[in-house]
Structure 1
Amino acid sequence: MTRILKLFIILVVFSPAAPADETNRYLFWKVEGAPGTAYLLGSIHVGTPDMYPLSKAITQAFTNADTLVVEINLLDVDPTSTNLLFTRKGLYQGKGTLESRLEPQTWQLLIAATKRYNLPLVMLRQQKPWLAALTLTTWVFQQEGYNAELGVDQHFLNQAETSHDIVELESLEQQLNIFDQFSPAEQEDFLLKTLQEISQGGEYLQALKSAWKGGDTAAINELINATLQTNSDIYQRLITERNKTMTARIIELLNQEKISFVVVGAGHLVGEHSIVQELAEKGYKVERL
């Protein structure tokens, strides 16, 4: 699978000789059910070599687990069908263009961003605003040196391929349907929010990585969720509703006599209506590790 395609799917040199940094707390919880147990690890879907190795507590929990649980099993994604899916849902058919669907001011901001990061504008011309936002994010991640192969999800998937059962909480098509069902105004708003975030470039990504390693839930919530929260409908569909769906699936796993190691995007584990909060409110014992 191409690197850019893998970065799309996530909505970006492992050094085994480096010692694990035990001063980092990460976003890591233990959930006790009856009869199952789940460990929840907040992920950022792209990475750099200095993110590894992870703490001994995390690696030991993974080793002891029966099942790895992820949002999407990237090992099971077919590149050809995935490209067709993005084409069908993310591109205008016929004579439609991105420029014709955006307000002039938004289009000019997009042009400025593509020039700043040397992204060929032709790549975006037939894309719907939500896909243009993902394309731009993907490109910026790469320009700033972040790699999908070093994302936390991919790190554990690579290890689990021969040692663990792998369960996915969603499908790629389900995720793309959320974006594709946005109204034209919501899609443009999502693109504007993306332009706002990437205007900070490497500073934003470095802040995100530092907050993730330090387990700073408030900072993660601010960096990932706060911008989306300015549009309650977008936030509801991208975060709140998905959290409820994923929580229900995790509860199904907790009802089985097994240990599950769950890796989901960090934004799903912090703030109001997070998976952590949903499980605690349903009476499960949730312990921050």
Structure 2
Amino acid sequence: MPDTRRSLARMLAVALLAVASTAAADSGHPLPLWQINGHGNSVFLLGSVHLLRASDHPLPSAIDAAYQEAERLVMELDMDDIDPLTTQAVVAELSAITDGRSLSDLLGQRRYANVEKESRKLGISLDMFARSEPWYVAISIEQLMLMRAGLTQEHGVEAHFVGKAAADGKEIIGLETIRQQLGLLDGLSMPAQRNLLAQVLEESADLQSSMAALIRAWRHGDTGYLEQNMLAEMKRHRELYRTIVVDRNKDWVRQIGRYLGRKDDYLVIVGALHLIGDDGVPAMLAQRGHDVVQLQQQ
């Protein structure tokens, strides 16, 4: 049985935010990488982890081979065209409480006191979040804890391929904008936001160790493990699952379907949680009649 008390924040990390990886010189196992053959071209789907350590490289060679074959890259966001100032403005706008209330008001006195106590254990002051919505507090704390564990965007999967694409002159296409992505979290109901914050704080103290098994499963393309330990529990949080996973997957499948049959090959890189289960992108594409194959590390 998965530890359902400790899985919500980890699920969000794989779906939208950040997880870590472990480099290994192993072979002969599945990868978080799928291939869909169109009429004259191929689309590769890579399940991503967004923050990594330098020691997590190199990535499996089959992943780099898919990059070499693809003329175009597709990511959740157009990572080579993101303006930091614009992003900062969008974050400030969407995360702010605008009706005069405070974080304490949104959480309630008892819940706020508990959040403040747990945050203090992590060396984090809630003062900086006094006018921020709970979803933003949750992802900020989680990202801070991952960074403390030595994980950075600079070593993440997207950054790795953004650098290669810039050097090789390959185009990067975004599936959504930063406003759309953060708007998903901003649009969560207040009960869902409170629950997310509580779960992040509960697991933050041992985030690094609790992620280890999940990361091994990611690197080895173990969709069964990920589905049992993450997806099954996420489905219990219906609003979060529908908003963060299902609705986005449906939109992405429509976009990916348009890439099939074109001249160029594509490498599509999205959070790993989007590629597993019956509601995953590979399954949705297969349901549409496409030939979808999970690739192996040779």
Contact map agreement 1:220 1:266 (CA 8 A) in 2: no
Across the aligned residues of Structure 1 and Structure 2, the Cα RMSD in angstroms comes to: 2.1
Higher relative contact order (CA 8 A, sep 6+): 2
Task: Work out the CA distance in 2 between the residues paired with 1:96 and 1:241.
Answer: 30
User: Which whole-Å deviations, capped at 9, do the CAs of 1:94-152 have from their partners, x for residues lacking one?
Assistant: 64211111034432342233223212222222110111111111111111111111111
- The answer to whether 1:260 aligns with 2:286 is no
For residue 98 of structure 2, what is the aligned residue in structure 1? 93
Call closer, same or farther: CA 1:108–1:144 in 2, change over 3 Å.
farther
For residue 10 of structure 2, what is the aligned residue in structure 1? none
Of residues 118, 122, 126, the one that matches 1:117 is: 122
What does 1:1-289 align with in structure 2 at a 5 Å threshold? 11=17, 21-22=26-27, 25-93=30-98, 95-163=100-168, 164-289=170-295
Moved over 6 A (4+): none
Contact map agreement 2:188 2:239 (CA 8 A) in 1: no
User: Which whole-Å deviations, capped at 9, do the CAs of 1:150-177 have from their partners, x for residues lacking one?
Assistant: 1111111111123211111111111111
Task: Work out the CA distance in 2 between the residues paired with 1:258 and 1:274.
Answer: 24
Provide the TM-score with structure 2 as the length reference: 0.85
CA offset at residue 226 of structure 1? 4.0
Task: Work out the CA distance in 1 between the residues paired with 2:28 and 2:111.
Answer: 43
For residue 3 of structure 1, what is the aligned residue in structure 2? none
* Percent identity between the two aligned chains: 28
List alignment gaps of at least 5 residues for structure 1. 1-6, 13-17
CA offset at residue 20 of structure 1? 5.0
Task: Work out the CA distance in 2 between the residues paired with 1:197 and 1:248.
Answer: 35
Contact map agreement 2:116 2:125 (CA 8 A) in 1: no
Contact map agreement 1:69 1:260 (CA 8 A) in 2: yes
Call closer, same or farther: CA 1:211–1:105 in 2, change over 3 Å.
farther
Task: Work out the CA distance in 1 between the residues paired with 2:223 and 2:182.
Answer: 27
CA offset at residue 202 of structure 1? 1.3
Worse overlay, 250-259 or 127-136: 250-259
CA offset at residue 267 of structure 1? 0.3
Task: Work out the CA distance in 2 between the residues paired with 1:52 and 1:130.
Answer: 31
Task: Work out the CA distance in 1 between the residues paired with 2:63 and 2:204.
Answer: 30
Equivalent position amino acid for 2:125 in 1: P
Contact map agreement 1:20 1:53 (CA 8 A) in 2: no
List alignment gaps of at least 5 residues for structure 2. 1-12
Equivalent position amino acid for 2:185 in 1: F
* Count of aligned positions: 276
Contact map agreement 2:79 2:174 (CA 8 A) in 1: no
Contact map agreement 1:109 1:195 (CA 8 A) in 2: no
Worse overlay, 28-37 or 199-208: 199-208
Equivalent position amino acid for 1:169 in 2: L
Task: Work out the CA distance in 1 between the residues paired with 2:231 and 2:206.
Answer: 16
CA offset at residue 23 of structure 1? 5.2
Task: Work out the CA distance in 1 between the residues paired with 2:102 and 2:29.
Answer: 46
CA offset at residue 56 of structure 1? 2.0
